A and B are shown apart, each in its own frame.
Chain A
Amino acid sequence: MNEYVILSFHAVIILYGVLLMTPIGEAIGSILVNKWPSTSTKRGRMLAGLMFVCTGGFTVSAHTLWMHNKLSEGGSVCSGSSILNCDGLIGNPDYNTVPFIGQPWGLLGMVAFCVLLWIVVVIAKEPLAFSTPTFLKAGLGATIAGLPVIGLLVSYEIKEGLICPFCTTAHIANIIAMVAFFVLFKMYESDEWAPELKKTRK
């Protein structure tokens, strides 16, 4: 199967998450409401959307780890004459592992998106807990901490004159997650987080 067809599977998961978080999320999220009633609220859709984004980030990171392994076997997984070329970056021993740790970047991505997903699931399960603002800050902090890492990886791409579409998809997922955590944090500070409590107070 063409690598870009496979990439589109990851992209669709992330895109669905993004759409859930937008105003049209109410319409496209209706299929989730029966199974997950919380998605009938704006907060619920934001959290569900963020779960999809983190899951898409996780699957695309796992895919880059698979590519890393395949390239070490001597194969070719995503090469071409155009600027879009993963082999030249994921297969490049000078850039394909995390400095000091020596592990593939894909594994770091898997761990990072799992941590983000854990934070989102905890918030979704207990949105009114005292620890929720701490978790929101942790999610925002973790995604902001990902920016220098993305910067380093983009610098490798500029150096080699190549773009790795799979890596870029993971980077975009991190940036979307950062924006979503920020919006959630702002929402927490407003009455939108728990409108039912607002009604009770009135």
Chain B
Amino acid sequence: MGKDWLELTSEIMNNLYRSEEASARGDAALIVISLFFAGLLVVAFTSNPIATGTKPGERAPLFSGKAYNGDGWETFVFDDLLTPEWTPNSTDDAPWIAVEFMDRLCGHCVSAASEVGDWSETYVKTSNWPGPDVLFVAVHVEFQGSSSRADIEDFRDSNGHTFPYFDDDGVGSFKDWDIGATPTYFLVQPNGIVAWNSGIQNLAWDAVSEESITIGDPNGDQRVKLNEAIEQITLSYGGATE
């Protein structure tokens, strides 16, 4: 049985080796595979793709829809907040972006609302903050129950927030941002790269060295808060300097 199988395999291999048609296919395959890999190598050596995701160093997923800005529900496009040409050495006033995924029915979001409001007013140049402006955006998700747009308006206004509240209902950006619980905070570089993710805590992205760095926990409460991340990350290379 074993011998038959061996003889058969040997015969097939022998036929393949002697067959001119098989040789033509093999030669053609070699040419084409070489071309394919040459093309891939050129692309690989001349570009440095960045994956889309929410880990530090990845490109933040884009989203768009309707957001409440205090006057009404207007079209909101996350890309519009970005400054694609920003570099760590930029001297322009490109703002960083803080994104909060929250649910008005989540207890932690309710208790954090006051300090988030304070941070949104602290990290702007007009408040003597030496770093770059940080734009805040709240993305309202429905993890605990349903909320109407009127409920979202009430929540924003009753907490005195001045930043836009994006309604994620029907958009589902929380899936792209891999949100498992609320509140979850992100700090995004002006060029759209995630600098910090509260789910990953003390790991941040250094735009200069283009690698992950560890940031501290100044309060020693075993967790890095959004304001601590903003102060450690944006000030470490000056941000907007002019």
Contacts and interface: CB of A to CB of B under 8 A. Distances in A.
Given A74-B191, A74-B192, A111-B36, A121 B46 contact: no
Nearest to A115: B32
B52 interface: yes
A147 B118 CA distance: 56
Interface string B199-225: 000000000000000000000000000
A59 B32 contact: no
Contacts of B61: 93
A114 interface: yes
Contacts of B42: 62, 66
Contacts of A131: 21
A73 B47 contact: yes
A117 B34 CA distance: 12
A117 B27 contact: no
Contact of B39 (A59, A69, A115, A126): A59
Given A58-B35, A74-B192, A69 B43 contact: yes
A126 B20 contact: yes
B170 to A, nearest CB: 15
Interface string B159-197: 000000000000000000000000000000001110000
A121 B35 CA distance: 13
Contact of A126 (B21, B31, B46, B192): B21
Contacts of B43: 62, 65-66, 69
B145 interface: no
Nearest to B32: A118
B25 interface: yes
A89 to B, nearest CB: 14
A88 to B, nearest CB: 11
Contact of A114 (B35, B49, B50, B85): B35
B36 A66 contact: no
Interface string A51-93: 0000100110010011011101111100000000000000001
A114 B24 contact: no
A129 B36 contact: no
A32 interface: no
B40 interface: yes
Interface in B21-64: 21, 24-25, 27-29, 31-33, 35-36, 39-40, 42-43, 46-52, 59, 61-62
B192 A122 contact: no
A96 to B, nearest CB: 10
- Secondary structure type dominating chain B contacts: helix
Contacts of B48: 69, 73
Given A73-B48, A74-B191, A75-B84, A125 B39 contact: no
A109 B29 CA distance: 17
Task: Say which size band chain A's interface belongs to.
Answer: 20 to 34
A110 interface: yes
A110 B25 contact: no
Interface centre among A62, A74, A121 (most CB of B within 10 A): A74
A194 to B, nearest CB: 16
Nearest to B86: A74
Interface string B60-101: 011000000000000000000000110000000000000000
A187 B46 CA distance: 42
A69 B28 contact: no
Contact of A73 (B20, B27, B50): B50
Given A114-B32, A118-B28, A72 B59 contact: yes
B164 to A, nearest CB: 21
Interface in A103-151: 110-111, 114-115, 117-118, 121-122, 125-126, 129-131
A62 B44 CA distance: 10
Nearest to B36: A114
A115 to B, nearest CB: 8
11 contacts: A58-B36, A62-B42, A66-B46, A72-B51, A74-B59, A118-B28, A121-B31, A121-B32, A122-B25, A126-B24, A129-B24
Interface of A: 55, 58-59, 62, 65-66, 68-70, 72-76, 93, 110-111, 114-115, 117-118, 121-122, 125-126, 129-131
